[in-house]
Amino acid sequence: MEFKNEPIRDFSLEKERSAIRSALDSIPKSLPFKIPISIGTKEKYSEKRIYHKNPWNPELLVTEVSLSNANDLEEAIQISKKNWRHWKEQPQEVRSHLLMKVAENLISKKDLIISVCIWETGKHITEAELEFAEAVDFCRYYAMTALEKLSPKKTILLGEDNLYYYQPKGIVGCISPWNFPMAIYTGMCVGPLVVGNIVLSKPAEETTATAYEIAKCFWEVGVPKEVFHFLPGLGSEIGEAIVNHPEVSVINFTGSRDVGLSILRSASVVLPKQSLIKKVICELGGKNAMIVDADSDLDVAIQSILTSAFGFQGQKCSALSRLFVHENCYQKLKERLVDAMEGLLVGTPLDFSNRIGPVIHKESFLRLSQIQKENESFLVGKTSWVPDEGFYIAPSLYEPPSESSMWSSEIFGPLLAMQKISSFSEGIQLVNDSDYALTCGVVSRNPKHVLDAKSKIDAGNLYINRGMTGAIVNRHPFGGGKLSGTGAKAGGPDYLYLFVEGKTFTENTMRQGFSRDTIQ
């Protein structure tokens, strides 16, 4: 079977808009979503809960989330140990078939899941559609990759039979982020599940309802609840408990640099009763740059900058944050970019004509507002109108000095720093002058410069003459180096190897006679 990416709907068509509009409009009557803990076949609600409010209408409560704790984790692990053998000994064809059915179940609930995501995050409808397709792609791609890449390999010689095969590593803790609650949550869980592991899923506090709707799509088609648990809660509580449990063999984490490095430190300590070395998979963000060359097509450059820096309000680990523009086109591009930013429509994602929505919550709003205030003297231009109500941050362009933290710290918002360069080689040097190496964009019509970029830029994903966000499964395996992560390439052919270990059987077949039992 050939893998094909899930198609994207065209929301310029009225029939597509009306379908999703109906689902979006139905959500408020179901609010707040009350999210349980799911351990094996048991679901329960805890007394201790957290709450998430709608980002464009902060008076509206979207989710009421039960908080799991260390006792819940221990119960999930004991249930998993009793049921793991049956799951891991299923033929790969059976597990892959189940995950293909998950993809179809997701598609059957597409409008509901996308609508829940929008009400939790404030994501634009097109961004949400793209993300949902990625979630479906992860299910299909990993199911097919497991069959293709992880089949046992035999080597038969005269007098010797050899078998190399893969077995699952055991219990995998999946701690996922809020900014891609459909795609990343799904991909982080599908990978270990399809090769026979136990998954303890800990979704982000802000997007638990989206993750819960997706988890139900797994259980409904037959993925056993005894091997796929749902443990919502705080990272500082249940997340930390998962990381430190001696029987959790793999930590699969996407999130902030500080938390990721803390996980790596914790996992390096072998605790009492621990008989394994934990594997840690981290994707930790970026400080991503784009170079606009002297001969660039400025139409391509402007469109690439707008989508890369301000799509989903800059709340992507891949988002453009540092812009280096050749002096020959610097002033012209800056003027056009400021004009284009003024034309960005900011407001609720329920109005499909808007392109920029709110940031995720009050904490992000206050943090980004403070950065704007501190860098006000370096402001070049910004979108002048934003709604008064809601957590809206105006897309903004700055020319900060070289010592500014805007050049080094991950911002995670629609704030872009811009600098003039005298040569393409200077641009490459500035791009690489970072602790991160996740994504990078290059806009150039010079073949030599494009070749230099490919060979010299430190980035896990390099995008040329296009936007630098929106990695597509199979086509753009995603992940970076340096402090951007441990190098896992999600959506690529090697990802599943992170959740298995190889085992070798070698047998001497030159027997000297037979045992008595075989000839009776």
From the candidates 217, 317, 329, 440, give the one annotated as an active-site residue: 317
Q: For the beta carbon of residue 159, count every other beta carbon within 10 angstroms.
A: 10
| Orientation angle between helical segments 110-121 and 125-149, nearest 10 degrees | 120
Determine whether 217 is an active site residue.
Answer: no
Q: Which two tokens stand for residue 40?
A: 């094996």
H or E element that contains 519: helix 516-519
From the candidates 283, 329, 410, 440, give the one annotated as an active-site residue: 283
Are 405 and 434 in contact by the 8 Å Cβ rule? The answer is no
Single out the residue of 196, 240, 190 nearest to residue 211, CA to CA: 190
Are 247 and 237 in contact by the 8 Å Cβ rule? The answer is no
Determine whether 117 is an active site residue.
Answer: no
The three-state (H, E, C) secondary structure of 49-98, written as one string: EEEEECCCCCCCEEEEEECCCHHHHHHHHHHHHHHHHHHHCCCHHHHHHH
H or E element that contains 221: none
Token match 């037979």: residue? 514
Single out the residue of 421, 413, 469, 483 nearest to residue 441, CA to CA: 469
Are 57 and 200 in contact by the 8 Å Cβ rule? The answer is no
Are 179 and 315 in contact by the 8 Å Cβ rule? The answer is yes
Are 350 and 17 in contact by the 8 Å Cβ rule? The answer is no
Q: Which two tokens stand for residue 486?
A: 């441990």
Q: Which two tokens stand for residue 392?
A: 């809206």
The three-state (H, E, C) secondary structure of 176-196, written as one string: CCCCCCCHHHHHHHHHHHHCC
Q: Which two tokens stand for residue 211?
A: 């993750």
Q: Which residues pair with 163 in a beta bridge?
A: 154, 505
Q: How far apart are CA 498 and CA 478, in angstroms?
A: 14
Q: For the beta carbon of residue 58, count every other beta carbon within 10 angstroms.
A: 15
**How far does Cα 78 stand from its chain's mean position?**
29
- Three-class SS state of 420: strand
Single out the residue of 409, 408, 427 nearest to residue 419, CA to CA: 427
**At a CB cut-off of 8 Å and minimum separation 6, what does 198 contact?**
77, 80, 84, 87, 170, 171, 172, 192, 227, 228, 229
Are 318 and 469 in contact by the 8 Å Cβ rule? The answer is yes
**How far does Cα 137 stand from its chain's mean position?**
13
Q: CA end-to-end span of the chain, whole Å?
A: 47
> Which residues does the annotation mark as catalytic?
283, 317
